[in-house]
Structure 1
Amino acid sequence: MVEHNVLIANPDYEITISVVIFKPDRLVLGNTLKSLQRALEETTPLRAKLYVIDNTPDVSDHNWLRELLPDLPLEIIAGHGNIGFGAANNMVLDRAGKFHLVLNPDVEMQPDALKQALAFMTENPAGGLITPKAFNPDGSTQYLCKRYPAIFDLLLRGFAPNGIKKLFRKRLQRYEMRDQIADTLFWDPPIVSGCFMFFRGDIYKQLGGFDPRYLLYFEDFDISLRTGKITRIAYVPAVKIVHEGGHAASKGLWHIRQFARSAFIFYTTYPLKLF
C-alpha cells in the first residue's frame, strides 16, 4: 500500500459528488438528489459541491435541477454528448474534494449515510474507498461486492433465465460474496459496484479516475481492482442505500452490445477466467 496524499485533493471542499446522467427520469433523479441533500444536511457544517454531468445530447434546460437544490453548490456540465460513464466522471477529477462520492442517479441513501461514511474514514485512515450496504426497492438485499468474475458467472447472472440460475444458486452466491458480506464490516472485497463509491479524494486522483475505454459496464470492476493495489476497500454496512439499477439484459440490444464490448476490454486487460 502506498501512502495517501500523493496527489492533493481540492482543499476548497470537504466532499464533492459527481452524478452522471443520460436522458434521466426526473422523478428518479429528483429522489436521488433529495436524498443526497438530506444526507448532506446531517453532516453540516460541511463544505460540499455537487457536479451533475449530463451526457444527454442537445439538452439545454437544467433549471429544474437548480430549483430542486437551491441551497447546494451545484455545477452542471453538459453539451459534450454521450462520452460514457467513466469519462464523464473524469471531467471533474481535478476538482475532487477531500472526499469524493461517485453516485448513480438511481440511488437513494439513508439520511445518515454520508455521516457514517465520513466517520468511518476518520477512524480508519487505511481505508481509501467505501462501498455501502444496498437494498433493492422491494427491501431485499442487493450485493455490491464481487469476487473476480469468470465469464460463466457473468453470463449466468446477467442473461440466464431464472430456472438456470436456480441450478447454479450456490455458485452465484459465492460470486456475490454472500458468505462474507452481511451486517459487519468487511475489508478488501476485490470488486465493488460503481453505483456508490466513496473515495478519499487523493486516492481518486492518484487512480486517474475511471478508465475511459469503458463506455458503460465494467468500469467499476477496473477501478476496484486498481484501487485495491494502492489502498484498502471497505464494505461498511452502516452506510445504507437503495439502488434501482442493474439488469443489462433487460435494457435492450444496445446495452447488451456495450456489456460485451466492455467485457472484451476487461478480459484483454486482466486475466481471462472462463469458469
Structure 2
Amino acid sequence: MSISCSVVSYHNSPDQIADVLRSISATPGIALTLVDNSRDDSLAAVAQQYGARYIHRPDNPGFGAAHNIAIREAIAAESTYHMVVNPDVSFGPEVIPGLLAYMEAHPDTGLVMPDIRYPDGRRQHLCKLLPHPGDLLVRRFVPALYRLSGRLDTYEMRRSGYDRTMQVPALSGCFMFLRTSVLKKTGGFDERYFMYLEDVDLSRRVGRVARTVYYPAVSITHAYQKGSYKSSILLTRHIRSAVRYFNKWGWFIDPERAAVNRAALRALEGARQAVDHAPVADGK
C-alpha cells in the first residue's frame, strides 16, 4: 500500500504552503508533489524543506491540469491512494490515518472527504447534489431568495446535520482522498475546466463506478476564500466552467443527475427516519 498526494499552488505565501506540507508530511511515507503554477519558483525551498517534489509550471495550465501531472504519475507508479489537497488547508496527524482506515474497511468507496471547517471552527457545507443550472445561477446572484426557498438546504444537504457518514454526489476538491485504481478507470480531472466545477465533474465520474463519501469522523481547516465572489476575473472563469459542465452533462434535461440526486436524498431521509424511530434509553 502507498499514498501519493498533490498540492497545486498559485502565488500562495510560503507560510501557507508550509502549513499544508507540514500537515501532510506528518504522516510518514507519502509521496508528496507540489505543482507550482506561480510565475516564480520561490516556493521550491519550502517544498524541499518538507520533502516534497517540486514542479514549476509558470505557464499555469489550471488547477485540474496541474493535479493531473501527479495523478498520472500515481497511476503509473500503482499508488494505492492519491490525495488532492488545496494549498489553503491544514489538519492534524489523525486525519490521513482516519481516512485511510475508512477506505481500507470500505473497498467499494472510491472517494472520501472529511469534515471541513473554517479557521474559526464553523462548518463548511461542501456536500452537494449534482447541480442544476438554476442552482448555480440563483445561489450566486440571488442568494437570499435561494436560502429562503429552502433550496440551499437541499442542495448543500444541510438536513443531514453533517454529523453522519453519507454518500454525496459532489464532493469538494479542497480535499479528496481517492482510490487510485478508480482514478485509473475514470481518469483524473477534465482539463477543459481551468478552475471551478472540475471537482463536481470528477466526483460524478467516480460515482459511476464507486461510492463517493463524506466522513465526518476527522476534520480539516480550510481558509475558503470564495474568490469568484470577489474577483470579476474569477467569476468569469466560474461561468465558463459552468457552461462547459452543462454542455458536457446536460442543462435542463439530465436523467442521470435526477436519479443520482434522488437516491442521495432518499438515503438521507431513510437515515433520518431511522434515527427518529430508534429506541430511547430510559436513563436507568
Q: Helix, strand or coil: the match of 1:145?
A: coil
Q: Helix, strand or coil: the match of 2:138?
A: helix
Partner of 2:224: 245
1:54-91 Cα shifts (integer Å, max 9, x gaps): 11124365113322x1xx3x211113511001111111
Count the aligned residue pairs. 249
Query: Structure 1 counterpart of 2:87, which letter?
Result: P
Partner of 1:7: none
Query: Structure 2 counterpart of 1:178, which letter?
Result: R
Quote how far apart the aligned CAs of 1:27 are.
Answer: 2.2
1:102-159 Cα shifts (integer Å, max 9, x gaps): 0000111232010101111111111111011111122111112101212232233334
1:30 paired with 2:9, answer no
Quote how far apart the aligned CAs of 1:93 are.
Answer: 2.1
Q: Helix, strand or coil: the match of 2:115?
A: strand
Distance 2:18 2:195 in 1: 22
Partner of 2:148: 167
Distance 1:58 1:182 in 2: 40
TM-score with structure 1 setting the length: 0.84
Q: Helix, strand or coil: the match of 2:190?
A: coil
2:14, 2:43 within 8 Å by CA — same for their partners in 1?
no
Structure with larger Rg: 2
State the identity %.
36
1:230 paired with 2:209, answer yes
Q: Helix, strand or coil: the match of 1:191?
A: coil
Quote how far apart the aligned CAs of 1:92 are.
Answer: 1.7
Distance 1:55 1:249 in 2: 19
2:63, 2:194 within 8 Å by CA — same for their partners in 1?
yes
Partner of 1:90: 68
Distance 1:181 1:227 in 2: 24
Distance 2:18 2:39 in 1: 20
Partner of 1:196: 175
1:146-165, aligned counterparts within 5 Å?
146-160=128-142, 163-164=144-145
1:250-270 Cα shifts (integer Å, max 9, x gaps): 331110110011000001011
Q: Which moved more, 1:149-158 or 1:118-127?
A: 149-158
Q: Closer, same or farther in 2 for the Cα pair 1:243/1:158, shift >3 Å?
A: farther
Distance 1:266 1:197 in 2: 20
2:36, 2:56 within 8 Å by CA — same for their partners in 1?
yes
Distance 2:231 2:135 in 1: 20
Q: Closer, same or farther in 2 for the Cα pair 1:61/1:200, shift >3 Å?
A: closer
For structure 1, the 5+ residue unaligned runs are 1-12
Query: Structure 1 counterpart of 2:17, which letter?
Result: L
Distance 2:57 2:242 in 1: 28
Q: Closer, same or farther in 2 for the Cα pair 1:110/1:156, shift >3 Å?
A: farther
For structure 2, the 5+ residue unaligned runs are 254-284
1:158, 1:248 within 8 Å by CA — same for their partners in 2?
no
Distance 1:273 1:140 in 2: 34
Distance 2:9 2:210 in 1: 29
Distance 1:225 1:79 in 2: 28
Quote how far apart the aligned CAs of 1:246 are.
Answer: 4.5
Q: Helix, strand or coil: the match of 2:201?
A: helix
Query: Structure 2 counterpart of 1:112, which letter?
Result: E
Partner of 1:134: 116
1:180 paired with 2:160, answer yes
Partner of 1:221: 200
Q: Closer, same or farther in 2 for the Cα pair 1:181/1:62, shift >3 Å?
A: same
2:88, 2:223 within 8 Å by CA — same for their partners in 1?
yes
Partner of 2:7: 19
